Amino acid sequence: MTTPRHMPARNHHSAPHFDAPSKLARFLEDVEIAAHDAALSEEDTIVWATRYVRREDSELWTALPAYIAMPKVYQDFKTAVIALYPGADLARQYRMRDMDDLVAERTMTPIASRLELGAYCCAFSRISSHLRSHDRASEPECQRAFLRGFSGDLRSRLDNRLKITNIAHRPDDPYTIEAVTAAADFLLSGTITGTSRASTSQPIAPLVSDTIKPERVDLATLNEALLKIQATMIALARDHIAMIALPYTT
């Protein structure tokens, strides 16, 4: 059996930390994990949660009806605490406008490298997953929005690549985010930061062909050769005529 751990002290480096409404959900999650490891009851978990925050927050939390109630119910306390901080509601962490703003921003600056593609995919996944999990955006809506984030020359090449690799795809249906990501990653192969590097190689000098010089011909030698050929042909012709003139013998 695992021995329960002790809750970390308030100022210990491993203690849950809360300093902004946007971090409230993570803070409460850290408290819950630590309380589980320490085998705390719901009431003790609530008490420890109030110890890890600043004095003004602690005074506010301990004044909540959910804290004063007996017995204490952690989920009621958690809901009441979240309601105190606008923007801390997990169901409203992202809005459709956040996804639209991300896509518009990415469209204005075309993706030029696999690094930028990865950053866009992570940011889009974080927002779209939240919207889908809370039924605030459908999967086709997110798929169409994701593709709109690509622009410039990459978008044209991406459309062509998707048509080639998805032959059976229906025109009215959006491409899946996985298919778009794979196609974009293929087109951006070999890129890292998107910045072009100046070539360090020396320019190749154009090949210069040697000037073709006409060969000088010795006319005397040429005439001599022609005369020899002519004499040989005449001799062969004479021999042929002589053979024809010989009488036929049986």
Residue 198 forms part of a structural domain? no
Final residue before a domain boundary, out of 91, 121, 150: 91
Tens-digit pLDDT profile for residues 154-199: 999 999 999 999 999 998 999 999 999 999 999 998 776 654 443 3
Residue type, position 3, single letter = T
Tens-digit pLDDT profile for residues 119-166: 999 999 999 998 998 888 999 999 999 999 999 999 999 999 999 999
* Residue 136, domain extent: 96-190
Model pLDDT, residue 245 = 58
Residue 107 forms part of a structural domain? yes
Place of tokens 């049986």: 250
**How many structural domains are present in the chain?**
2
Tens-digit pLDDT profile for residues 60-69: 999 999 999 9
